[in-house]
Homo-oligomer: A and B are copies of this chain.
Amino acid sequence: MAASIVCFGELLLRMSAPGNQRLMQLPELNVHVGGAEANVAVSLARFGHTARMVSCLPDNPLGEAILQDLRGQGVDTTHIQTGDGRVGLYFLETGAVQRPSRIVYDRAHSAFVSRPADAYYWRSILQGADWLHISGITPATGPNAADAALQATRTATELGVRISFDGNYREQLWKAWSGNGPEILAELLSHASLAFINELDVGLIFGESHSDRADAEAAVFARLPRLQHIASTMRHQVSADHHRLTGRLATRDGVWVSREFDMPGIVDRIGGGDAFAGGLLHMLTGTAPLQDVVEFATASAVIKHSVAGDYNRTRIQEVEDLLSRNGLDVRR
């Protein structure tokens, strides 16, 4: 059953060194469009839902390229506004062997960050939506976006639109403008019915220390009456391009844990969490058992690790094939 999901966040251009080159080793950069919420929007559009992106871009060839790319993926871009400022960038060096990947952010002063909160008319934007999805990165980018995020969630709650919130605590971004991260994130979280958080997020937001994830989940459920699902992943890192991934989904009634997926020869790790979120939101729009929900979401994240770029360029059938262990030989 197709749902209508609104995603609010910044759109970035990723500039990455080709192959396994060190950043700027060769005078050439590969470009991808990304952004935590945009990645979720793309997953949802590919899974057959109506995904509406809310953001702001400058009217220049870089902004135009982002729009084209997202529109090409089937995301509704009619609520992406045009404003003054630059396009946020990040530079990526892909790791190898025992050397981790590295990101150099260059996203300050972007059109999104400079966009005043009152430029977004949430009542009309959220009209008819089933979900509002937002990550902790959005408010961290600056006071305008933080205000806008709060207004979005408050309006969503008023309109009965369910909220999906992805923790993603980014200390450096909060520090850059002395924002009160914990307070803002706590309010956003209080509106959510679905949260992607683990014990680290809980510690950072509520200043609590939890010995394990189950404890943290219990504490958050106790604190936040609107919250129904807490989702997270566990990642074991064998080497820079060999990880193992397990998904987890908690409700007030229990916990569902996916099988562990082995991921040797990772192509691109960026966007793995967003692919998990996209898969989970997709499944929650249906009526599948929660074990199936968490398996699908995790398998969706696993496929993302084989896809270059931030987007999870996949289809439902491909995720299901992975789950049904249909074999790995060439599909003809």
Given A72-B72, A89-B89, A96-B305, 13 more pairs with CB closer than 8 A: A15-B29, A20-B308, A25-B309, A25-B313, A86-B106, A95-B328, A96-B306, A97-B263, A98-B262, A98-B303, A101-B331, A103-B331, A269-B330
Contacts of A91 in B (CB 8 A): 61-62
Residue of B24, B108, B305 touching A109 (CB-CB under 8 A): B108
| Contact in complex: A328, B28 (CB < 8 Å) | no
Chain B residue, CB-CB nearest to A172: B332
What is the size category of the interface that chain A forms with chain B? Answer: 35 or more
- C-beta contact mask, A65-103 vs B, less than 8 Å → 1, else 0? 100110111100000000000110101010111111111
B-contact bits for A46-61, CB 8 A (1 contact / 0 none): 0000000000000011
- Are B96 and A265 neighbours in the complex by a CB distance under 8 Å? yes
Q: Shortest distance in angstroms between A326's beta carbon and chain B's nearest beta carbon?
A: 8
User: Is A97 within 8 A of B62, CB to CB?
Assistant: no
| A257→B24 CA distance, assembly (Å) | 35
Known: A29-B31, A302-B97. A307 touches B265 (CB 8 A): no
B31 pairs with A31, CB closer than 8 A: no
Determine if A61 and B22 form an interchain contact, defined as CB atoms under 8 angstroms apart: yes
**What are the residues of chain B within 8 A of A61 when measuring CB–CB?**
22-24, 91, 93, 102, 104
Once the chains bind, are A65 and B302 in contact (CB under 8 Å)?
Answer: no
Which residues of chain B come closer than 8 Å to A327, judged between CB atoms?
A: 100, 237
CB distance from A225 to the nearest CB of B (A): 33
Instruction: Give the chain B neighbours of A32 by CB distance below 8 A.
Output: 27
User: Please, which residues of chain B bring their CB within 8 A of the CB of A267?
Assistant: 20, 96-97
- Determine whether A261 belongs to the interface, using a CB cutoff of 8 Å to chain B: yes
Tell me how far the C-beta of A322 lies from the nearest C-beta in chain B, rounded to whole angstroms.
Answer: 6
| CB-defined contacts of A332 to chain B, threshold 8 Å | 102-103, 105, 170, 172
